[in-house]
Amino acid sequence: MLKYLFWRLSGLLLTLLGLSFVSFCLIELVPGDPVITMLGEAAAWQDVERLRIELGLNKPFLVRYYNWITNAVVHGDLGYSLLMNQPITELFKTRIPRTAWLALLSFLLTIFIGIPSGILAALYAGGLIDRLVMTVSTVFLATPIFLVALFLMWIFAVQLRWFPVAGYIAPTSHFIEGIKSLCLPALSISTMYIAYIARMTRAAILETLTQDFVVAAQAKGVTRARLVFLHIMKPSLVPILTAGGLVLAELLGGTIVSETIFVIPGIGRLTFDAAVKKDVFVLQAMLLFMGSIYYVINVIVDICLAVIDPRIRII
């Protein structure tokens, strides 16, 4: 297990290094001059050159990459936002907790609705419950998030007035009001993931139900609840955990559509604003952040799976 853990962590470091280089290269390919974006088309060439020197943009590509990655690793300095006039690290410190709260609530809804729905659909395969779950999941998967968000906003915020229309209140300052401000965004995001997890759970459970040890347990008269929780769930956890890890990584990486519609100043909204305003240094840091989230979550999931099923350990 220690060898497997060492191998995965070593791969994590190499992958993050490669990801940082790729993200830096991609931003270099973006058309336009960040200095002109910051100063405007009418800026004097002396001011343009002075700012380019201050930002280090006059140096060779590899020198700029080395300086950027060194500052990021040693000092935690990801650069400076051209348009918001703030260090990117400070922007992340304020916006990541907001996205984390939204991601946590969305993930809890996904798990506590998606997994039981998938289990019921598998246990009653071909029946009314199965058809209902599959139909609803198909509708959820086919409906864009922005339509779900607008529908929920119109019903529960405009008509019923149960929740605020938009805005964000930190749950750490006012817990109830904060959770209420996140309910509609979280529900609009989680509908698609609930459908995805429900389908993955159903497929995993159906595959496990055909195994010999399950058939033997059924022949011995094991109750349905005992059969599910003691005999079926553990062998079925591998695909469910893998899917859940991908969902969590995507949520933590920023939910651009929902944060934009509900005016939540999180990572997703920051990405949207940076893309619209061509704030290339923020986009560069966001690419590194999102890629890192995906890979770190993937490593954690792989380690959990290796604990559950030792056959997964390749070393």
Mean pLDDT, the chain, rounded, equals 82
Question: Rounded to whole angstroms, what are the CA distances from 77 to 91, 133, 248, 262?
Answer: 11, 47, 26, 30
Res. 30: pLDDT tops 90: no
Under the banding of pLDDT at 50, 70 and 90, the label for residue 40 is: low
Q: What is the pLDDT of residues 238-294, one digit of tens each?
A: 788 888 888 888 888 767 888 888 888 888 888 888 888 778 888 888 888 888 888
Secondary-structure class of domain 92-312 per CATH: mainly alpha
pLDDT value at position 287?
82
Per-residue model confidence (pLDDT) at position 132: 93
Contact 205, 123 (CB under 8 A): yes
Which pLDDT value is given to residue 39?
Answer: 67
| Residues 64-116 pLDDT 10s | 888 888 888 777 788 888 777 788 888 888 888 999 999 999 999 999 999 99
Domain(s) labelled CATH 1.10.3720.10 in the chain stretch across: 92-312
Residue 80's closest CA among 278, 267, 271, 285? 285
Q: Using an 8 Å Cβ cutoff, are 208 and 217 in contact?
A: no
**Mean pLDDT, residues 15-26:** 82
* Amino acid occupying residue 107: F
Structure tokens at 21: 């280089």
Pair of tokens at residue 273: 């604003």
Give residue 199's pLDDT. Answer: 92
Quick one: angle between helices 2-28 and 280-308, nearest 10?
Answer: 160
Q: What is the DSSP string of 130-187?
A: HHHHHHHHHHHHHS-HHHHHHHHIIIIIIIS--S-SS----TTTSHHHHHHHHHHHHH
- Cα 194–chain centre separation: 14
Give the pair of three-digit tokens for residue 112. 């506590």
User: DSSP H helical segments within the chain, as ranges?
Assistant: 2-28, 34-39, 45-54, 61-70, 88-123, 128-142, 145-152, 175-209, 212-219, 224-226, 233-252, 256-261, 267-277, 280-308
pLDDT of residue 170: 85
- Render pLDDT for 204-217 as a digit per residue (tens, 0 to 9): 888 887 777 777 77
* pLDDT on residue 313: 57
* 37 or 110, greater pLDDT: 110
